[in-house]
Each structure stands twice: as structure tokens, then as C-alpha cells.
Amino acid sequence: MNKFARRVMVTGGAGFIGSHLVDALIKKNLKVHVIDNLSTGTLENNKQWAENDRFVFTKKDLLSKRPLVLSDEYDVIFHLAANPEVRVSSTSPQIHFQQNVVATYNLLETIRKAKCTPTFVFTSTSAVYGEPLVIPTPEDYAPLKPISIYAATKLACEALITAYAYNYGFNAIIYRFANVVGPRSGHGVIHDFIQKLRKNQDELEILGDGTQTKSYIFIEDCIAAMLEGAEKTKAQVEVYNIGSEDQINVKAIAKIVMEALGLRKTALKLTGGVDGGRGWKGDVKIMLLETGKIKSLGWKPKFNSQEAVKETAKILSRT
């Protein structure tokens, strides 16, 4: 039986990735309940489903003292609610601890107390690997040594989810994402470059030395991989990397964004960065994921990193 035969919950479903996931689930004729506190997500992202009887939105903070009420009506819970700003963690680590770890713990406790057994799908990050010695990095790489507070909180969530799944009898899927880009994204290097260039077309500041080289995956490919894994995974707890098969550096991204905006004479100003050319403390400089595991289920990305960046820059430059 299709795991999505009844009803699905999406925490953070009004955010960038969450809203695209909601779109895909509704199009599969599923009943979708979105939980979001709207701290970074917007109702605009879900507006096309506002009048759809298979869509329900609840404004709710998982940190609220009033607990979320759950029943066994949910086949799958996609937990995307989190603070996505990696740089925040260096100055305000409590934000990521509360919004990532505590919020996840509260949701897991709600599931435990309700004695329900949905498939629990969690969106983690490639940053949990820290700076691996093996690139592309496989899911079984160890030891995991995150270098940002954000990544540490995501890894803590992975551990909590795994323990709760084994102790309380539900299945869990953990996705470790590369950099996800596409329409509706409100943070990240492409969004930031566009905002900077709209303020100053003569010069573009680039944090770091510009050689930071990472994998970027288009949102359409990311959602397809998430659904493929949720449909076909049989293990009680499974971890998948989701990313493109190549990399692109920050200077190349800057040039793509400038081209999307029709700019040809903008000077690039490299800040030099910290700790060997990183954009900020905790910035992983080189990242590429081994994705053979998710591809073995039948998924394959349509866009490589450069194509994903170009498509995103084209879309965001028009909004």
C-alpha cells in the first residue's frame, strides 16, 4: 500500500522546501496538514491550496507550551520546521538549539504520548559530516564532526529521532541535503547576491575567498528524491544523502547571478573570509555527497549544480 494513502503532516510547510513538498503531496491527491509558526515561512507559499479541501493550515510553534495534538490519522510526518540560517548559530547558538533540537524533541514526545506510529521524515544537512576526508561523502562516513552549531543541532536531532523510532515503534527516514535552491528560497548565496546587487550594481561583496566549492540541488529534484525515499524505504531507520553529482564555486555563482541580472561590469570584492577562506565560522568549504543510495531507488537529478544555480538565479532575478 502507498504510505501516502491517508493523511500527511508537514511541519514547516509554509517555508521554501516545505511549500514545494506540500505542492507535490497535494498533486498526489493526499490530505496535507501544514504546521508552521510563520517565522520564516509565509502564507503566500501555500496560497494556491487555501481553498482546497485536502489542505489544512495551522499556525503553531513547536516550542509552544500548548502541545500539538496528534492522533493515528497521520501516515507520514515530514518534519522540516527549523531555523535554516547557518550563520546565526555562531552568534546566537540558543536559537538553533531551541528551534531545531527542542522543537524536534517536543514533536517526538507528542508522537510517543499519542502512541501513534507514523513514518517520520526528517530533513537534515550535509553539514553533519563536517569536513570529511572522503569526497564524495557516503552516508556511512565517520566520525561525524560538525563544525557549526547549526550542523551540531541537526546531528542531535538525527540521534533523537533514531532512538525514538527504535524505542517507540515507528519508522524514520533522515535526508541529508546538499544546498537546495529554487523559487521561493529566501536565504542562501543566490538570494544574498541578488539582494546585494540590487543595492549596488558596481560591486559585489563575496564572503570568503570565493573558492568555496559545493553541490547545489534544484528544489524539483530534491522533492522528487524525498518522495522516492518515503515511498520505497523499508528499513525502520534509514539515512539518505540528497544532492547533485557535481560542484560549483562561489565566484562562478556570482558570475551566473550577475548574468541573470544583465550585469557585466560589476567588480567582485572578496573579503578573504576566516579560517582559510571560509565565508564565516562554521562554513564547510568543500562539499559533495555520494548519492548512490537514493539513486538505487530509481531517482536521478535532472539538473547539475550549475544548471540548478542558473535556473534559480533566473527565477529569483524576476521576483
- Active-site residues: which are they? 150
CB 76 within 8 A of CB 25: no
Q: How many residues comprise the chain?
A: 319
In sequence order, the 6+-apart residues with CB closer than 8 A to the CB of 279 are 207, 208, 212, 250, 271, 273
Q: Which of 114, 82, 92, 103 is nearest to 160 (CA)?
A: 103
Q: In the block, which residue shows the cell 533522515?
A: 174
Rounded distance, CA 134 to CA 62, Å? 36
- DSSP code per residue over 187-204: SSHHHHHHHHHHH-SSEE
Residue 232: C-alpha distances to residues 8, 158, 209, 224, 299 (Å): 16, 20, 42, 12, 11
CB contact burial 56-93 (16+ within 10 A = b; e otherwise) = ebeebbbeeeeebebeeebbbbbbbbbbbebbbbbeee
Burial class (CB within 10 angstroms; exposed 0-12, middle 13-18, buried 19+) of 94: exposed
Contact status, residue 176 vs residue 124, Cβ threshold 8 Å: yes
Using CA atoms, how far apart are residues 211 and 198, in angstroms rounded to an integer?
A: 23
Cα dihedral 7, 11, 15, 18, rounded to 10, equals -40
Cα 80 from Cα 12, distance rounded (Å): 5
